[in-house]
Structure 1
Amino acid sequence: MNSTPAAGENIAVLRKVHGVGQVPMARAMGISRSYLQKLEYGERPVTPPLAAAAATKLGVRVARIWGQLFTVPTTEHTQLLDALREVLRRHTLPREDVPSLDELDATLKKAAKLRAETRYVELLQMLPTALGQAMATALTAGGDAVAWGQVADLYGCAYAVAHRMGEPDRADMIVSRQAWASHQTWNPTAEAATAWNEAGTFQSAGQYDDSLAIVERAIIRYEEASGSDTGPERLVVLGSLHLRGVVLASCHRDRDATDAHLQHAKRIAAELGEKDILRHNLTFGPGNTALVRASGPHRAL
């Protein structure tokens, strides 16, 4: 299994962590912005000179570009990962107390913000306690769908951390836990968000056909479950899945599927409006749709 995120993906994350925009990043690397986008989406290889230029601009060693972002297993990271492993293992036996609703809501918003901003170490610091508290709340809430949805969302944040820290086995376990929690919600959005992450585990393994099959199955199921609803949440979910489909179909060298998913994403983005929207750790809108279009993954076919 290829568990190491690609160099282009590492450049994208490090760039965001350091607050570097695509234009100055591309300029420092001596390439166009559109070519940088292709690198970050894995549609063009990162050559040694490009990796060196990116490392210089970001103030990191070249090894951070080629390998894991967190190459040194510090004592803090090890302890935090151990704590996350323990809360995953004890998912039905949380040790944490049930927090107030306001406290839990604030925790969920903070976790979503840290994930969106790619602040993974800070996110890892809060996840063990946050997951334990959310589980304690759900287990005492008498099957409340909202409470289980909160658990599923936090598992989605945990997946992002496990993936970025090069923990593929843990990422697989987290997706299984997320699927279990989302099934308790009877909420098609929570299940679609889980499928988005599940597809990521297959994508990391280079199994693009299976990953694409998961996304396309999720689209069909969500469309059936959501019916004629035209609200923003439905648009975000379907748009996010179709954008994932664009990348996966391109990696699988399926031109027809790539073009079909891109056309769906463009149509949905036009319906959504001018701003990208975040729902259940899924972000979609005209901004990220334009980014995928500009990166031109379909043009590499």
Structure 2
Amino acid sequence: MRTTELAPGANLAALRKGRGWSQTYLARKANISVSLLSKIEVGDRTLTPAVAAVLATPLGLTMAEVLGRATVEQDSEAHLSALRSAVRDYDLPGRQEVHEGRIGAALEAAGRLRDDVQVARLLRTLPKLLRDATAHAHSANTVDAWAALSDVYSTVYWLAARHRWMDMAELAVTRQRWAIEQRTNPLGAALAARDRAGTYLNGGDFEGGLTVVDRAIAAAQTSLSGQERAFAVGVLNLRGMTLAGRLMDKVEGKREAERHIASAAEAAGWFDRDWNRHHMIFGPQNTATHVLATRLDLGKPHEALSAAEDIDTVLEGLPPTRIAPTRINMARAQLDVGDRDGALENLALAWDVAPQMTRIHPMGREVFRVVSSLHRRSNPQLLRLSKLSGMAL
């Protein structure tokens, strides 16, 4: 597994040079301009997920590999190995007796670590939690027990996707769906489909992900009712708008994005405040953060910033796992409109609220690379973020 401490644009340059390719050759194979590729590599422009997906094809890589897999601390490698082992042993439940109450408490604790983006501590807790949940599901064989196991696999997927460990992410969503299929659970099936579509998102197959989302929405609309249906349809539409925003055909992307935005807004009407169920969040606030990100991915930074005019109110009460990416997206949009100081301010806010996420978030690292490149001279904020990120100015 290739890991890197490079920001995505610098990682792209290293991948290209490692193959002995010129910028002209790669740009021609990817059907993008040499000027754009050059600006990305030197740090004048951010490498966006959509462009990374296009460049991944001629390189024979996934989008995640172009963005660069994140590393873990040396003392976390044993925990990562233990987690991989627990995922492999999905049908080997062990002989330990596990009480349902203990599983529920451990799941809540893991959920809090996920919401607070405490990725190092989460990695330490997941191997035992996964083995205990596996043993309990096989022993109890109830809807709730299998749903709890599915939730653990969802958290494994979340952790793997944040680090771009796509082999583990794809295996986790396969196990998640397997667990939920042991006992009928329409809401669990919808959430598992949402995570599965995430593997398409991170792999750069945006069309495939949209197919998964649309199929899951149709199933949720017929199998669920009331707020549960609104919640399931809502979280799926959030995934759908993200996938649509990253389509290279921006005309088609806008059409698909608007369809999912409208559907998400309708579902959000069922909620006064956002719900957090199974550590997925849906409601009017999280819908607004996704609309901002989607407008940005569609190449409309001014529209993205307009959607963020009341951003402090939008983010109020949301967990760090949602606040930090939104601040990073705002920084990306501000870079695109030439507001370097605003971009630096929002990037600093992302670091303050969720330092572990911002360190491994590809756009968090990429925005810092471009901000530091465009500033004529360093300042205390840049120096602070350089130290936190481990990225030189």
Q: Which category describes the TM-score, using the shorter chain as reference length?
A: 0.7 to 0.9
Task: Quote the residue 2:128 is aligned against.
Answer: 129
Question: Would you say the 8 A contact 1:193–1:281 is kept in 2?
Answer: no
Q: Alpha-carbon deviation of 1:101?
A: 2.3
Task: Quote the residue 1:36 is aligned against.
Answer: none
Q: How far apart in 1 are the matches of 2:41 and 2:119? A: 23
Task: Quote the residue 2:110 is aligned against.
Answer: 111
With the length of structure 2 as denominator, give the TM-score of the two structures.
0.57
* CA spacing shift, 1:98–1:168, aligned 2, 3 Å: same
Q: How far apart in 2 are the matches of 1:188 and 1:89? A: 25
Is the aligned partner of 1:171 residue 2:166? Answer: no
Is the aligned partner of 1:100 residue 2:99? Answer: yes
Task: Quote the residue 2:241 is aligned against.
Answer: 246
Question: Would you say the 8 A contact 1:158–1:174 is kept in 2?
Answer: yes
What one-letter code is carried by the residue in structure 2 that aligns with 1:283?
I
Q: How far apart in 2 are the matches of 1:163 and 1:157? A: 10
Task: Quote the residue 2:312 is aligned against.
Answer: none
What one-letter code is carried by the residue in structure 2 that aligns with 1:48?
G
The one-character-per-residue Cα deviations of 1:165-189 (angstroms, maximum 9, x if unpaired) are 2311111111111110011131011
Question: Would you say the 8 A contact 1:87–1:94 is kept in 2?
Answer: no
Q: Alpha-carbon deviation of 1:256?
A: 1.8
Q: Alpha-carbon deviation of 1:244?
A: 1.1
Q: Alpha-carbon deviation of 1:299?
A: 5.2
CA RMSD of aligned residues (A): 2.9
Task: Quote the residue 1:256 is aligned against.
Answer: 255
The one-character-per-residue Cα deviations of 1:128-171 (angstroms, maximum 9, x if unpaired) are 10011111111111x31110000000000001111222311111
Task: Quote the residue 2:341 is aligned against.
Answer: none
Counterpart of 2:226 in 1: which secondary structure? coil
Q: Percent identical across equivalent pairs?
A: 30
* CA spacing shift, 1:148–1:114, aligned 2, 3 Å: same
Q: How far apart in 1 are the matches of 2:200 and 2:7? A: 18
Question: Would you say the 8 A contact 1:3–1:204 is kept in 2?
Answer: no
Q: 2:197 aligns with which of 188, 196, 199?
A: 199
Question: Would you say the 8 A contact 2:69–2:165 is kept in 1?
Answer: no
Is the aligned partner of 1:235 residue 2:234? Answer: no
Task: Quote the residue 1:187 is aligned against.
Answer: 185
* CA spacing shift, 1:250–1:111, aligned 2, 3 Å: same
Q: What 5-or-longer segments of structure 2 have no aligned partner?
A: 9-39, 47-65, 301-393
The one-character-per-residue Cα deviations of 1:186-229 (angstroms, maximum 9, x if unpaired) are 10111111111111111111110001111111101111111xx2
Q: Alpha-carbon deviation of 1:293?
A: 2.6
Counterpart of 1:271 in 2: which secondary structure? coil
Counterpart of 2:276 in 1: which secondary structure? strand
Task: Quote the residue 1:28 is aligned against.
Answer: none
Q: Alpha-carbon deviation of 1:87?
A: 0.8
Counterpart of 1:185 in 2: which secondary structure? coil
* CA spacing shift, 1:106–1:140, aligned 2, 3 Å: same
With the length of structure 1 as denominator, give the TM-score of the two structures.
0.73
Task: Quote the residue 1:26 is aligned against.
Answer: none
What one-letter code is carried by the residue in structure 2 that aligns with 1:81?
L
Question: Would you say the 8 A contact 2:79–2:123 is kept in 1?
Answer: yes
Counterpart of 1:283 in 2: which secondary structure? strand
What one-letter code is carried by the residue in structure 2 that aligns with 1:279?
R
Q: How far apart in 1 are the matches of 2:127 and 2:95? A: 10
Q: Alpha-carbon deviation of 1:70?
A: 4.2
What one-letter code is carried by the residue in structure 2 that aligns with 1:159?
Y
Q: Alpha-carbon deviation of 1:281?
A: 2.9
* CA spacing shift, 1:292–1:90, aligned 2, 3 Å: closer
Question: Would you say the 8 A contact 2:137–2:145 is kept in 1?
Answer: yes
Question: Would you say the 8 A contact 1:135–1:151 is kept in 2?
Answer: yes
Counterpart of 1:118 in 2: which secondary structure? coil
Q: 1:286 aligns with which of 278, 284, 287?
A: 284
What one-letter code is carried by the residue in structure 2 that aligns with 1:210?
G
The one-character-per-residue Cα deviations of 1:204-261 (angstroms, maximum 9, x if unpaired) are 11110001111111101111111xx212x32221111111111111212322221111
Q: Alpha-carbon deviation of 1:50?
A: 8.4
* Greater gyration radius: 2
Q: What 5-or-longer segments of structure 1 have no aligned partner?
A: 9-44, 52-65
More deviation, 154-163/95-104: 95-104
